Amino acid sequence: MNGIVLIGHGSVRSASGAAMIRLAARLRHQTVAPVAEAGFLNYSRPSLAECIEKCIRLGVDRLFVQPYFLIDGVYVQRDLARAIARSAARRTQVRVVVGRSFGDHRLWAPLPSIGRVL
**At CA 44, angle to CA 40 and CA 50, rounded to 5?**
55
Output the pLDDT for position 61: 92
Q: Could you list the beta-strand ranges (E) of 1-118.
A: 2-8, 35-40, 62-67, 95-98
pLDDT by residue, tens only, the chain of 118 residues? 999 999 999 887 777 789 999 999 999 999 999 999 999 998 889 999 999 999 999 999 999 999 999 888 888 889 888 988 888 777 778 899 999 888 756 666 655 555 555 5
pLDDT recorded at residue 90: 74
User: Rounded to an integer, what distance in angstroms lies between the CA atom of residue 61 and that of residue 93?
Assistant: 6
How remote is the C-alpha of 79 from its chain's centroid?
13
Cα–Cα distance for residue pair 42/11, rounded to 1 Å: 7
**CA–CA distances in Å: residue 96 to residues 12, 55, 73, 108, 115:** 28, 11, 20, 25, 40
Cα(74)–Cα(79) distance, integer angstroms: 7
User: What's residue 39's pLDDT?
Assistant: 94
Output the pLDDT for position 1: 93
Identify whether 9 is a catalytic site residue: yes
CATH of 2-102, one of 3.40.50.150, 3.40.1500.10, 3.40.50.1400, 3.90.1150.10: 3.40.50.1400
User: Please, where are the H alpha helices in the chain?
Assistant: 18-29, 48-57, 74, 81-89
Overall pTM > 0.95: no
Of 7, 9, 76, 84, the active-site residue reads 9
